[in-house]
Amino acid sequence: MKNILIILSIFFNMNISAYISQSGIRAQSLGKAYRSLALSNDIILYNPAGILKHKKISLDLDYHNINSSNNMMISIVDSKSTDWAIGILYDLQLPQNKLVSHSAYITSAIPLINDILFFGTSLNYLNLKNNNFTSMDFGLLLDTNTGLSLAASSNHSFYFTSRHLPANMGIGISYDFHKILHITQILIAIDWQMNDAFSENDLKHELNFGVEYIFLESFPLRVGYNHVNYNNEKFISFGTGFVASTIDFDLLYRQNILLGKERDFGFSLKLKF
- Please give the pLDDT value at position 211: 97
Non-local CB neighbours of 13 within 8 Å, separated by 6+ positions = 104, 106, 123, 125
Please indicate whether residue 184 or residue 244 has the higher confidence score (pLDDT): 244
Q: Strand pairing partners for 208?
A: 191, 226
- Please give the pLDDT value at position 207: 94
- Please give the pLDDT value at position 164: 66
- Please give the pLDDT value at position 171: 96
- Please give the pLDDT value at position 8: 39
pTM above 0.85, yes or no: yes
Instruction: For residue range 73-124, list pLDDT tens digits in order.
Output: 999 999 999 999 999 999 988 877 677 888 899 999 999 998 899 999 999 9
- Whether 204 shows a pLDDT value over 60: the answer reads yes
Counting residues of the chain whose pLDDT is more than 90, the rounded percentage is 60
- Whether 31 shows a pLDDT value over 90: the answer reads yes
Task: Report in angstroms the alpha-carbon separations of 58 from 43, 108, 110.
Answer: 13, 15, 18
What confidence tier does 20 reach under pLDDT thresholds 50, 70, 90?
very low
Please say whether the beta carbons of 251 and 241 come within 8 A.
yes
